[in-house]
Amino acid sequence: MRSTFYLVGLMALSHSILTAQFFPPGELGRFEYSVIPDMKDLDLKAYSITLRGGKRFKNTFVGLGLNYSKYDISFFNTPLSSDFSSYEQTHNLNFNISVRKVLKNSWALNLIASPTLSSNFAEGIGSEDFLFNSFLLASKSWKPKKGTTTFSFGLAYWTFLGEPALIPALSFTRKFNSSWSFSLGIPRTGLDYQLNERHGLSARASFRGFYANNSDSVSFEGLGFLENTKLRYNTLDLGLEHRYKIQPNFTTITRIGYLPNNRLEIMDDDHNLIYDFEAGSALYFTMGLTFNLNFNTNDKTKKSAHQSLIKTSLP
């Protein structure tokens, strides 16, 4: 029985709104393929595509984004009494609306609403397949003699920890110059270095989570047939990324990393644990391609507006 499942390119996370570093300014589209070749008795892969854009209205920035991810899992050495075939393929579709309102004294309010469908869709689309994720953040920026400093704080209702939950969102970001920047916070901490016009490097530590409904009827030993069970995943992602601009509008991505504490579980409709796959630690590999706007370096107003919008955009 084979299937694949993806965790690392989860756009929700794909990438956090707490900094602009996950999606560089000007990025409109992204395609990624990821693989985790060995997670004890699991193999994981995925494809994901993201489109996004936005517009500035005086001191307000509005962004729209759409992401589709196809997740598959390959199970090995599972109990003979269990049939996990209905968990072998999962789909995730999320639409997000982001709003950033610039206030006085370098303050800003950031709001993201992201209705999401996450399921195997075995019985079509139902209410159990629907999730509503959201972020509410306030941020304050300073401009010392060199670079920019930003502190953001707020709340998120998201699946970073493996199921929808209210969690604090904090970030301290320091951009020293056009080459160096770092961010400390939850759910992401990272360091970014732009070597030159073509090459960039990033290191990060971030929480990753996945939560999906199984609308099929599944038999479990001692429990009988259950419907709308949940597949729950969470981990800590420690990764290194290289970006290479192959031409003005396209950039390739190569990412390798380590997942030290993978947890993949099946829950019932009341969030009680049914089965623990006892997933082990694993390495992962991701490669992708992005499409970017080619800003003219002299067009500072347009670029600055887009950078501010990206701070409230999700993959």
Q: What pLDDT is recorded for position 41?
A: 86
Peptide bond into 315 cis (omega under 30): no
Per-residue b or e along 60-75, where b marks 16 or more CB atoms closer than 10 Å to that residue's CB = ebbbebbbebbbbbbb
- Mode of pairing for the β-strands spanning 188-194 and 224-226: unpaired
Task: Name which of 85-89, 97-101, 243-247, 307-311 the model is least confident about.
Answer: 307-311
pLDDT of 4 > 60? The answer is: no
More confident residue, 5 or 267: 267
Q: Please give the share of the chain, as a percent, with pLDDT higher than 70.
A: 84
Q: Which of 80-84, 180-184, 218-222 has the lowest mean pLDDT?
A: 80-84
pLDDT-based confidence at 207, cuts 50/70/90? confident
What pLDDT, on the 0 to 100 scale, is given for residue 294?
Answer: 63
> What pLDDT, on a 0 to 100 scale, did the predictor assign at position 80?
65
Q: Report which of residues 296 and 288 the model is more confident about.
A: 288
Looking at residue 25, what is its pLDDT? 56
pLDDT tens column, 57-114:
989 999 999 999 998 999 888 776 678 899 999 999 999 999 999 999 999 999 999 9
Q: Residue 81: its pLDDT value, please?
A: 66
Q: Which of 298, 297, 262 is nearest to 279 (CA)?
A: 262
* Structural domains for the chain: 27-310 (2.40.160.40)
Looking at the predicted structure, is the pLDDT value of residue 300 above 50?
no
CA dist., res. 138 & res. 287, Å (int):
33
Mean pLDDT of the chain: 84
Q: In the structure, what pLDDT confidence band is assigned to residue 19 with cuts at 50, 70 and 90? A: very low
Closest of 39, 41, 40 to residue 77, by C-alpha:
41
pLDDT, position 161: 79
- The dihedral region occupied by 271, where left means phi > 0, alpha psi between -120 and 50, and beta the remainder, is left
Give the chain's radius of gyration (CA, Å). 20
Could you tell me the two tokens for 192?
Answer: 């970014």
* Per-residue pLDDT reduced to its tens digit, 110-124: 999 999 999 999 989
DSSP line for the chain = ---B---TT-STTTS-TT-SSSS-TTEEEEEEEEEE--SSSEEEEEEEEEEEEEEEETTEEEEEEEEEEEEEEEE-S--TT---GGGSEEEEEEEEEEEEEE-GGGEEEEEEEEEEEEE--BTB--GGGEEEEEEEEEEEEE--SSSEEEEEEEEEEESTTSS-EEEEEEEEEEE-SSSEEEEEEESEEEEEEE-SSSEEEEEEEEEEEEEEEE-S-EEETTTEEESSEEEEEEEEEEEEEEEEEEETTEEEEEEEEEETT-EEEEE-TTS-EEEE--PPPEEEEEEEEEEE----TT-HHHHHHHHHHHTT---
Q: Is 217 left (phi over 0), alpha (psi -120 to 50) or beta?
A: beta
Kindly report the number of other CB atoms within 10 A of residue 304's CB atom: 13
* Pair type for strands 188-194 and 199-214: antiparallel
What is the pLDDT at residue 313? 37
For the record, the structure tokens of 260 come out as: 């030290």
Mean pLDDT of 238-257: 96
Give the tens place of pLDDT for each residue, 131-149. Answer: 999 999 999 999 887 889 9
CA dihedral sign, ordered 214, 132, 211, 222: negative
Please state the pTM of the whole predicted model. 0.82
Segment among 14-23, 140-149, 264-273, 285-294 with least mean pLDDT: 14-23
Contact 122, 216 (CB under 8 A): yes
Other C-beta atoms closer than 10 Å to the C-beta of 287 total: 14
